[in-house]
Structures are given as structure tokens and as C-alpha cells.
Amino acid sequence: MSILVAVAAQAAGDGAALLAFKAAAIGGGHHNHNRLLPFVEVEQHQRWRLLQLGGGQGNIPASIGRLLHLQALDLSYNTFTGELPANLSFCASSLLLLNLRHNQLHGRIPVQLGQKLTNLRKLSLRTNSFTGDIPVSLDNMSLLNYLDLGTNQLEGPIPPQLGSMGDLRFLYLFENNLSGQLPSSLYNLSMLQALVVANNSLSGTIPSNIGDRLHNIENLDFAVNQFHGTIPPSLSNLSAITNLQLSTNSFVGHVPSAFGRLKGLVILYLEGTSWKQMTRRGGIHHSASKLQPASATDSSQ
């Protein structure tokens, strides 16, 4: 069943475009072709700002590009297929939120998204079948604070340009086919609260000063990759961290005893590394009673 929600604003309406979208996405209904939903009524002078839809299937209708004043588009948890329509970027000047997670979309992420949707604050394409690389153009979304591309089939390196998105707080790239080293520019995102890149083919080492750069990080998940080297003691400076997952990599050496200073740490997942076990003298032993194991994606939902 569909759900359409409108937040009214002044000026002429987009009702015709919405009706076209509804008819293409879920069909026009049995006898209600000229109505959006019985409880959704707007005057002709009003514009539609928020669109949420359930029960959608097939391709995302091209008529979505006619909703020129849309601020939030949520088509998550549907069965939409095909590629993203190129004219989605026509909503450029107004769109703040785009949520397409949990569909069956495929193809490359359009370069136009980054070039046109420059006012976007939240973008989620999680759990689809997007392929190709992450568009460098996404760095044009300078106001973006939430980027979720997890559980797709993206490949290639992570663009270092993402490190220029200074407002970014949540970055989810897990469960793709990404390779290469994690760009050092990502460690300059001082507002970042979650960096989740688990289940890829990323390599390289963790920088020795990571704990002095990601001051606000709460969720750091590098599990199931090809990282190597030793664990930097500076990680113990991440005072806000609650979830640290480094399992199934090729780290060597000891787990720093300074981890015992991480009072807020709830999840510490190291299984499958080559680290030597901590002795009872290590700080981790004394705070281990509050730690919980977790799967690589538990904290990225």
C-alpha cells in the first residue's frame, strides 16, 4: 500500500506530477485515479515538499524529475528496479534528502547526482546492486552529512575527494568490492562519527596519528579487509568511540594496553587477526567485562 505525505508550502502545486508518478510506480488504483490518498488533500496553491512511497515496483518513473520543489524523496524498502532516471537531478535546487535504500536498482551511480544535488544533506543507496566506481563528483555535495553506499557492488578505490566533505558525519561503504588504500584525506573529516568500510578488499596500514584526527568518531569498522601492520596506540585517544571492529585483517603485534582507557567502548571485535593475545597485565583485561562481540555490520544499521 502506498503512503504519500505532503508538507505544504506556498506557490503553485505539483499535483499533476505526483499523480503521474503514482500511476507509473504503483498504478492508479481501482477507482481513485485523480486522488493521491483519501487523507492527503492540498490546495492548488501549495507545493509538495516530502514524498514517501511504499509498494513501488518497476523502474522509478521519469516523472519524478517534474517535482521541482521536492525537499525529501524516500523510496526505501520497495522493489524498484532498473537504473536511476537521469532527470532525478532536476530536483537539484531543493532536494535535501534522497533515500533509495533496500531496492533492486542497478547500474552506475549517475555522475549527475554529485553535479546537481549540491544541497543534499543525506544520501542513502544502501542494499541495491549499483556497480562501477564511486563518482568523484559526490564531493560537490559539500553540505552532505550522511552518505550510505553500503551493500552494493561498487568497485575500485575510494575517491580521496570525499575527504573534502567537511560536514560529513556518517560514511558507510561496507559490503562492496572496493580496493586500494583508504585515502588519508578521510582522516581529516573531524566531524566524522561513523566510518564503516567492512567487507571490502581495502589494504594499507592505519596511520599512527589516527587517534589525534578523528576526535568525534564513535563507530570505526575496518573488519574483513586486507589491512596490515600494527595497531596505533593513538587509537586509545578516541574518547568517544563505542564500537571498534578490526577483525579478519592481517594486523600483527600486540593490542595496546592503552585500550583500557577507552571507557565508552562497548564493542571490540578483533577475531581473525594475527595479533598476539594480551596478557593479564594489559589494560584491556580490566575493562573487558563490558565489551561485546559483534558482526561486521551490526553497528551500521
166 and 280 in a single domain? The answer is yes
Q: Decide: 188 and 182 in contact? Cβ < 8 Å.
A: no
- Average pLDDT of the chain is 79
**Rounded average pLDDT over 283-298:** 44
Choice among 37-41, 61-65, 162-166, 258-262 with the minimum mean pLDDT: 37-41
Decide if pLDDT at 37 tops 70: no
Q: b/e map of 7-20 (b: 16 or more CB within 10 Å)?
A: eeeeeebbbebbbb
pLDDT of residue 167: 97
Q: Decide: 191 and 169 in contact? Cβ < 8 Å.
A: yes
Confidence of residue 296 (pLDDT cuts 50, 70, 90): very low
What digits encode the pLDDT tens for the residues 56-66?
788 887 777 77
88 and 186 in a single domain? The answer is no
pLDDT of residue 18: 54
Place of cell 575500485: 156
pLDDT of residue 31: 39
Residue 230 lies in a domain: yes
Q: Can you list the alpha helix ranges (DSSP code H) found in the chain? A: 15-26, 111-116, 283-287
Domain C-terminal end among 110, 144, 178: 144
Q: What is the CATH number of the domain that holds 16?
A: 3.80.10.10
127 and 249 in a single domain? The answer is no
What digits encode the pLDDT tens for the residues 263-277?
899 888 877 666 544
How, if at all, do strands 170-172 and 104-108 pair?
unpaired
pLDDT of residue 270: 79
Which one-letter DSSP state was computed for residue 200?
A: S
pLDDT of residue 286: 37
76 and 169 in a single domain? The answer is no
